Amino acid sequence: MSASANLSESYTNPDGKTINQCMYCSFCERFGCDYQAKSDPLITVIPTAVETGNFEIRTHANVRSVSYDGERTDGVYFVDTRTGEEFFQPADLVILTTYVMNNTRLLLQSGIGEPYDPDTNTGVIGKNYCYQIMASAQGFFDQQFNLYAGAGALGGQVDDYNADNFDHSDLDFLHGGTIQLTQTGIRPISTNPVPPGTPNWGSEFKQAPLTTFIARYRSAHKELAFRIDTTI
């Protein structure tokens, strides 16, 4: 077993790659780490793969479609985003890892699988898209919390109500959710909540974040299924 997420102390994994101690430098959420303190593929996987001599990362390459003959795939067509030139990359194995929306688009453009039709409830491509639904509450306090300085893995989670961790026999729904309290670092521009009734501009708006400090409770339900209408 290897250490994961943000580390409280430096750690060298079995491949010889060292992940450093978290410095709580802020701006951790959804960003790379200047201190190499995250168990990030940029640190833990990609350097190890490059050292084998059998791995290449091709940047500025946008895959447009997968080559498919009706039975199997044999490569992808991609465009160099700098020049607009299209290339074909042959492959024995093609793995789609561009998240469900773009994966669905690539499968549809490549003629792979049967598109989901919501009217007839047939097809599979675009059906049962799963993601997390967030419900949260927030409060304002006189005490300064400095939530901007969170770490990417700072928080706790109650998993008792998630998935099959509780009895569903007398309930009319499937799956469940988690209850989380996290402090991952609030970005100062994109996340700047102010108390109700505060104007959206002016001196009062500017003063509010300096005198009232937010604390947030979050609940994440992670196993809800949706369906993408591929006929639109």
Domains of the chain: which residue ranges?
1-57, 61-110, 129-226
Report the distance separating Cα 74 and Cα 86, nearest Å.
Answer: 16
Check pLDDT > 60 for residue 68. yes
Question: Which residue is it, tokens 């339900």?
Answer: 221
Sign of CA dihedral 81, 82, 87, 92: negative
Stated as kind and residue range, the H or E segment containing 51 is: helix 46-51
pLDDT of residue 139: 80
| Per-residue pLDDT tens over the stretch 5-46 | 677 889 898 999 888 988 877 777 777 788 888 877 888 889
Mean pLDDT of the 103-126 span? 92
The amino acid that residue 20 corresponds to is: N
User: pLDDT, tens digit, for every residue of 196-231?
Assistant: 899 999 999 999 888 887 766 554 444 444 555 666
Mean residue pLDDT of the chain comes to: 82
pLDDT at 52: 94
Q: What is the CA radius of gyration of the chain?
A: 23
Q: State what percent of residues in the chain have pLDDT above 70.
A: 81
Reported as a pLDDT band with limits 50, 70 and 90, residue 112 is very high
Q: What is the pLDDT of residues 132-161, one digit of tens each?
A: 677 777 788 888 777 777 666 677 788 888
